[in-house]
Amino acid sequence: MPLLVDMGWGGVVQLPATITWTDVSDYVNVAQGVTITRGAADEMSETQPGTATLTFDNSDGRFTPNNSASPYYPYVRRNAPIRIAVALTPTRSGSAPYLLEQLGDDFDDNRVNTTLWPNNYGGSSEANGRMRLPVGVGVTSGFQTAREWTLTGSKLTARLVTLPGVNGSSSAVTSMWVNSTTSGTRLGWRYNAVTGQISAESQVGFSDATPFTYTYSPINHAWLRIRENAGATVWEASGDGYTWTNLRGMATPAWVGAASVAVEFAATRTGGTADYAEWDMVGATVKPRFYGVVNEWPVEWEGLTSTVQVSCTDLFKQLNKQPVLRSMAAQEVLASNPGPVVFYPLTEDSAATSVGDIAGTGAGSLAITQAGTGGSLTMASATGPAETGESYPAFAPSSATNGKYLAGDMGAAVEEVLTENWPVFEAWFQTTTTGRAIMGLASADWHDVHVLSIGASGGLQIEWTTDGVSTLTVEPLSGPTTFANGSWHHVVYDQYTGSVWADGVLIDSAIAVVYGYHQRILHIGGYRGTRLWNGAIAGVAMYGAFSSVGADIATHYTAGTTGYSGETADDRIERLSRYAQIASVTVQGTVHDPIASQGPAGSTALARMREVEGTESARLFASRSTYGLVYQSRGLRYNPAPSGEAFTVAYADLETRQSQLADDDQKLVNDVTGSRPGGATQRVTAPASVLAFGSYPQDLSILKTSDNSVLDAAYWLVSRYADPAPELREVPVEAYTLNYSAVLDADISSYFSVTAMPAQAPASSMRVTIEGYTETIREKSHVIQFHTSATTTDSVWVLDDPVYSVLSSTTRLAY
């Protein structure tokens, strides 16, 4: 049971695909153990940030921050990425030929297992818990099994830990092979130090004419595997031993199933200076337990012995630190792909005399600029589109040439992007006056100009020049002529496709406008002191694109007008995750109701995800294998079948001297008042429960889109908790002595049964659902304290089902 602890020195936790991991497992104090917590105390509590604590041996100071002598300097610092896993090493059972997946060796005893590796040659050995192969000049070293294995329906896995160097040689290789009975006919992986490549090979006569070759990446190719299934053989690689990528596939050669095979790990070089290659974890199955960051590196001493006991937190630490969100319309701009080159939300307070960019590209601010005399531009005085909840500048000129507008130089960096790519404009606007300019973009010498405006008829138009003439060419656009009606409108102009979208609808796709270069001067609410805007403008953004993106940006109209009200809960979670810059979201379950708008700005992405979670009786938590979220719908827990149990454990095998069957009012709810934004306030009670136990009220304010849905949610809560059944809330197990792999696969919302309960129990077997757990991993011990709830709480009615249609027992309606 090797413990795997990897540090991502110098990496960024939210970019797992870019992290090169370093194995620091040998420095972990396994006697003291690693403790990990995840999930919630019960199903009525929110999941909490996952944590891990472990102690490193710091005898040589390698874990001391700012220690220049550390091999990890200068990356021993707070928020360094960490991942923790357990590797299960198989044991051989049955009789030959054995499945290759039973070939397992972690090499931790530093003694060659001659039963597994009877042919050990060329000075190869076990050292530092690894298979070590000398890479000497003209000498081949290796570990080789007896011919007693089969690849059919099985696999061979290993971790390539130490690569040989070139060291002045014309050839230096290490490899992993499945050998047939014919010399030189084999399948395997081969690493070539001279080319820096790995190759997936099917050799005949020690050669493969068409190998699949890849530049070796310690991020992507740390683990290598060969797997056969149903007549197909695949070569796979992984960065963590858990998530695999198929790099080659072919029909399985006939010799694979014709006779027993042997496994060989080998290394050799033709010249230069000798070194060694190392392989490890042959046959291991990796079970991720934690992914997060180290919070601190506190160095401690006891005499001259130094240790560092670290605490770690999963991605909820990053989510909890994030600032409050802007409006959905603004967040959609910021989360666009490609992201905006500039974004002026125009939400500055009433005292502001200029507006700034929040895209982060360093674009210059735009100042309030006077044209002629008179007029006004009042910041934060116009109420924005329905769902933004923000205020914007009101432009009130005294005439088309007398008043104020916003103008400034966005800078050379913006100019470069808009020149190398096709500009895309976006803006919200409101007016009752025609013949005015929404925004204008120009080069510093006013040679290349594009102005987006409303024409005299009330339709949109593009005015432009690419030769600096004072009179701009006007290109009227197709579509409505009602944009000066006092309502808020949204426009997107995509120069790449020559298309314009208004209020989310494509209105013109054949614009005869020439592309401009070196544009960096931006005017909002007018152009060069003319056609001054009379009304309000919001959310001006520009993008640099080299593909068609206008249609995607046009969907921002829905963000500002409805807040995407009506999209399903899983889509909302993924949307909020994008706002939080979390690329990986695993959605589990299929019951996802429509979600109402979450209103204007003012709360964090995590707070809004929690609103969705609470509305849906769902579960939200951090993945334990990567930087990502897991969102589980309530339907995932409906009517669990015995065949879906993660594992079973006999009561006598529990790691406790005292167990308790809880039957109290901790979860009792029999009077629910439910409400939704803009909807009715409704009440559901369980009269029999109120009579028996008294009133246990709860308010339920949720983001449903209909009153019926609120009523369903209230009934669901009351029907489950008006009279909660007795339950086991804590189930501690020694996973190492049970079905270890199955126990480690169990996660939040998995369920299992405790069997052979004592005679005093209400039933001989009790099924429970995992809400969270605390685990402690030590050498040959892995104790997990599961926090559980009664699985029957989530049963729902199924017509004519012998189990789930028992009147007054299991006839609870799902919602």
pLDDT tens digit sequence for 348-362: 999 999 999 999 999
Q: Take residue 359 and report the two structure tokens written for it.
A: 């895209």
For CA atoms 728, 732, 734, 739, the dihedral sign is: positive
Q: What is the mean pLDDT of residues 106-132?
A: 94
Q: How far apart are CA 520 and CA 418, in angstroms?
A: 8
Q: Take residue 797 and report the two structure tokens written for it.
A: 């009615």
Q: Take residue 337 and report the two structure tokens written for it.
A: 């792909």
Q: How far apart are CA 699 and CA 717, in angstroms?
A: 11
Q: How far apart are CA 551 and CA 499, in angstroms?
A: 9
Q: Take residue 95 and report the two structure tokens written for it.
A: 């009789």
Q: What is the pLDDT of residue 345?
A: 97
Task: Check whether 14 has a pLDDT greater than 90.
Answer: no
CA dihedral 219, 221, 222, 226 (to 10 degrees): 150
Q: Take residue 112 and report the two structure tokens written for it.
A: 């060659």
| Cβ atoms < 10 Å from Cβ of 68 | 8
Q: What is the pLDDT of residue 517?
A: 87
Task: Check whether 469 has a pLDDT greater than 90.
Answer: no
Q: What is the mean pLDDT of residues 484-507?
A: 95
Q: What is the pLDDT of residue 805?
A: 67
Q: What is the pLDDT of residue 470?
A: 78
Please name the amino acid found at residue 540: V
Q: What is the pLDDT of residue 799?
A: 67
Give me the phi and psi of 34, to 5 degrees please: -115, 130
Is residue 763 exposed (0-12), middle (13-18) or buried (19+ Cβ within 10 Å)? exposed
C-alpha Rg value of the chain to the nearest Å:
33
Give the pLDDT confidence of 242-271 residue by residue, as tens digits.
999 999 999 999 999 999 999 999 999 999
Q: How far apart are CA 325 and CA 603, in angstroms?
A: 6
pLDDT range class, residue 471, cuts 50, 70, 90: confident
Q: What is the pLDDT of residue 583?
A: 86
Q: How far apart are CA 731 and CA 767, in angstroms?
A: 11
Q: What is the pLDDT of residue 27?
A: 97
Q: What is the mean pLDDT of residues 544-556?
A: 90
Strand blocks (E) in 295-435: 299-302, 305-313, 342-344, 354-355, 366-371, 376-383, 391-396, 403-409, 422-431
Q: How far apart are CA 224 and CA 283, in angstroms?
A: 10
Q: How far apart are CA 136 and CA 92, in angstroms?
A: 32
Task: Check whether 534 has a pLDDT greater than 90.
Answer: yes
Give the pLDDT confidence of 28-79 residue by residue, as tens digits.
999 999 999 999 999 999 999 999 999 999 999 999 999 999 999 999 999 9
Q: What is the pLDDT of residue 660?
A: 84
Do the Cβ atoms of 11 and 31 come closer than 8 Å? no
Q: What is the pLDDT of residue 514?
A: 86
Q: What is the pLDDT of residue 800?
A: 65
Q: Take residue 151 and report the two structure tokens written for it.
A: 């690849």
Q: How far apart are CA 615 and CA 627, in angstroms?
A: 25
Helices assigned H by DSSP within 273-382:
316-321, 328-334
Task: Check whether 565 has a pLDDT greater than 90.
Answer: yes
Please name the amino acid found at residue 758: P
Task: Check whether 806 has a pLDDT greater than 90.
Answer: no
Q: What is the pLDDT of residue 185?
A: 97
Q: What is the mean pLDDT of residues 125-129?
A: 93
String of DSSP letters for 245-289 = EEEEEEEPPTHHHHS-BEEEEEEEESSS--EEEEEE-BT-EEEEE
Q: What is the pLDDT of residue 99?
A: 97
Q: What is the pLDDT of residue 609?
A: 96
Q: What is the mean pLDDT of residues 718-730?
A: 93
Name, in order, each residue with C-beta under 8 angstroms of 470's C-beta and a sequence gap of 6 or more: none
Task: Check whether 810 has a pLDDT greater than 70.
Answer: no
Q: What is the pLDDT of residue 798?
A: 74
CA 740-743-746 angle, to 5 degrees, is 150
pLDDT range class, residue 602, cuts 50, 70, 90: confident
Residue 617's region, left for phi above 0, alpha for psi from -120 to 50, else beta, is left
Mapped onto helix, strand or coil, the DSSP state of residue 192 is strand
Look-up: residue for tokens 């007016």?
Answer: 431
Give the pLDDT confidence of 378-432 residue by residue, as tens digits.
999 999 998 888 999 999 999 999 999 999 999 999 999 999 998 999 999 999 9
Q: What is the pLDDT of residue 599?
A: 78
Do the Cβ atoms of 103 and 122 come closer than 8 Å? no
Q: What is the pLDDT of residue 783?
A: 96
Helices 569-579 and 605-616: angle between axes, nearest 10 degrees: 170
More confident residue, 469 or 124: 124
Give the pLDDT confidence of 674-688 residue by residue, as tens digits.
999 999 999 999 999
Percent of the chain with pLDDT over 70: 98
Q: What is the pLDDT of residue 815?
A: 78
Q: What is the pLDDT of residue 802?
A: 67
Closest CA relative to residue 2, chosen from 24, 35, 22? 24
Q: What is the mean pLDDT of residues 75-94?
A: 96
3-state helix, strand, coil in the chain (%, to 5): 15, 40, 45
Q: What is the pLDDT of residue 699?
A: 97
Q: How far apart are CA 576 and CA 564, in angstroms?
A: 12
Q: Which domains does the chain have, with CATH numbers?
A: 1-87+286-314+778-815 (no CATH), 98-283 (2.60.120.200), 339-548 (2.60.120.200), 569-636 (no CATH)
pLDDT range class, residue 187, cuts 50, 70, 90: very high
pLDDT range class, residue 796, cuts 50, 70, 90: confident
Q: Take residue 158 and report the two structure tokens written for it.
A: 């290993």
Q: How far apart are CA 508 and CA 491, in angstroms?
A: 12
String of DSSP letters for 64-93 = STT-TTSTTTT---TTEEEEEEEEEPP---
Give the pLDDT confidence of 652-675 residue by residue, as tens digits.
999 877 788 999 999 999 999 999
Q: What is the pLDDT of residue 496?
A: 86
The pLDDT mean for the chain works out to 94
Q: Take residue 734 and report the two structure tokens written for it.
A: 């020694």
Do the Cβ atoms of 578 and 527 come closer than 8 Å? no
Closest CA relative to residue 525, chosen from 391, 424, 414, 400? 400
Mapped onto helix, strand or coil, the DSSP state of residue 53 is strand
Give pTM, 2 decimals. 0.92
Q: What is the pLDDT of residue 803?
A: 67
pLDDT range class, residue 643, cuts 50, 70, 90: confident
Q: What is the pLDDT of residue 123?
A: 96
Helices assigned H by DSSP within 69-162:
none
Q: What is the pLDDT of residue 811?
A: 61
Q: What is the mean pLDDT of residues 700-713?
A: 95
Look-up: residue for tokens 């870019």?
Answer: 18
Look-up: residue for tokens 């003291």?
Answer: 32
| Cβ atoms < 10 Å from Cβ of 314 | 26
Do the Cβ atoms of 403 and 378 come closer than 8 Å? no
